[in-house]
Structure 1
């Protein structure tokens, strides 16, 4: 098996080996399904020699096709070494510079959720952190632009077509599938469910105002399931990328009356994150919004959307 890293700030993952598809009305539509964020990993499922797009499966189980120039190919041994290195996450649009000075040459700008390895320790520079690009080149980033990395990509080595994602990740980590959520809580949230719920809601709020982008997952543009799945990932839990509850993944359905902050709200072809007190945050392509906004399930609220309230089909939780 061969592997790869995404080396674009947001590498497009297409659902088809073509980049466009015909719409029912004859208009040309995009075949984008997802985005691979910088420094994150994937399996290489099919690697045609010389030309054509590469078929991949991301570490969180999303399959698709990617331009080969958007990938850095690695062996399993190389990827294991990469994933085991101390790493951080870009917390916002982050310039990676040649030196720890504001006038340093910008090598690359990456977005929230990108994975960066920490460079070997050297002379510290106040306010700056030395990191490594995916290809090993050193660079500098503002401390304020970085956050601790809180997810695991081990499933990239074990996932196989037809294998439930929970089973793949649990197998990679050497635990039982029903221990995955507790492992995430213990590692990054002090074992506290409430801390996880608060963190997920706070992370989602950081995307407020981002534009809606079909298949998007980066801060520059995100769709509904890209927002929710990315927010969960940044807090240590990998959930299904698309807008539904799928067996073999952590989210399970609960009654509407039982929903709590951090739970997921499902509508036909759409998903949102519940914030509490009737409020939710979502990325919507509605003409009045066109991006990440707050709305409410409370008819008395000025943010109430009756159309979505009536169409709420399920509430999901990982607990």
Structure 2
């Protein structure tokens, strides 16, 4: 097995080994299915030609351009993932020196994985990080957040093996312990803190434009938003807008939904914030991005078309 890290700010992952496909009414449309953010890891399933078949560490398969990947051996990937790292908290310039006039080496999106670089003396307000190619760069402290997810499933995923089983195998735990492990490691063992963190993270994307297949702060789709919010809080759910066996999301009755749970509609997903309010990335012409809407018919932001089509409420905390 060969591995790679995404070596561009937001790498397009196509569902087909070409960037476009025939759409409705004779239109040519994009074959994009996902995006891999800078520094995140993937398996290399087939390495032939300019389009490489990959599977992300959270289980999404597709095709990425060869020149958007940095290839690693298993040993190199193990060392890469073991190194202390942080997450880009917003669109962030990586600069040649800890000065605002430093030369921009790269601009990354929220969710990028950045390794910490050795630093004999830390200038106030700045952190030294490593680019994927090993070069050092500087970034504002305020542009960083703790990295709160595990990519170990990149080593154990294989066809026919449920994703939770692959991640649990890599971490040496039982699949049913994965959510509890995330809560204990990053949320003080408190389900309430986890729910609050999910809602807070989702709000950071408010106003971002809708982008089919997107996961970046500059544009993301409905499942890109919700799966990214969960990932950034330590739980890896299925990337698309459905509850799929093998990932931790479980269906619960509508009357039991609580803040941080996922709302599922036909081909769409949102994150519930409480008191009828939810946040989602919608391609509706009236919004075209990440907005609030409500399940309360008395609210001015009520959408009857979604309320009436709510098919499931999902939670990862059913057994916690």
Partner of 1:253: 251
Alpha-carbon separation, structure 2, partners of 1:247 and 1:65: 23
Unaligned residue ranges in structure 2 (runs of 5+):
none
Partner of 2:165: 167
Partner of 1:58: 56
Partner of 2:23: 23
Query: After the TM superposition, which residues 146-161 of structure 1 pair with which residues of structure 2 at under 5 Å, given as runs?
Result: 146-161=144-159
- Partner SS for 1:25: helix
Once the two structures are superposed, residues 164-201 of structure 1 have per-residue CA deviations (whole angstroms, 9 ceiling, x without a partner) of 00000000000000000000000000000000000000
Alpha-carbon separation, structure 2, partners of 1:16 and 1:229: 22
Alpha-carbon separation, structure 1, partners of 2:51 and 2:119: 38
Once the two structures are superposed, residues 127-169 of structure 1 have per-residue CA deviations (whole angstroms, 9 ceiling, x without a partner) of 0000000111000000000000000000000000111000000
Once the two structures are superposed, residues 260-280 of structure 1 have per-residue CA deviations (whole angstroms, 9 ceiling, x without a partner) of 000000000000000000000
Query: After the TM superposition, which residues 1-319 of structure 1 pair with which residues of structure 2 at under 5 Å, given as runs?
Result: 1-48=1-48, 51-319=49-317
Alpha-carbon separation, structure 1, partners of 2:159 and 2:268: 25
Alpha-carbon separation, structure 2, partners of 1:272 and 1:162: 28
- Partner SS for 2:94: strand
- Partner SS for 1:248: coil
Alpha-carbon separation, structure 2, partners of 1:127 and 1:311: 48
How many correspondences in the alignment? Answer: 317
Once the two structures are superposed, residues 254-299 of structure 1 have per-residue CA deviations (whole angstroms, 9 ceiling, x without a partner) of 0000000000000000000000000000000000010000000000
Alpha-carbon separation, structure 2, partners of 1:222 and 1:200: 17
TM-score (structure 1 length as normaliser): 0.99
Alpha-carbon separation, structure 2, partners of 1:116 and 1:122: 18
Shift, 1:124, TM fit: 1.4
- Partner SS for 2:50: coil
Alpha-carbon separation, structure 1, partners of 2:108 and 2:120: 23
- Partner SS for 2:81: helix
Alpha-carbon separation, structure 1, partners of 2:214 and 2:236: 17
- Partner SS for 1:235: coil
User: What RMSD, in angstroms, separates the aligned Cα atoms of the two structures?
Assistant: 0.5
TM-score (structure 2 length as normaliser): 0.99
Alpha-carbon separation, structure 2, partners of 1:290 and 1:88: 30
Once the two structures are superposed, residues 44-75 of structure 1 have per-residue CA deviations (whole angstroms, 9 ceiling, x without a partner) of 00001xx3300000000000000000000000
- Partner SS for 1:266: strand
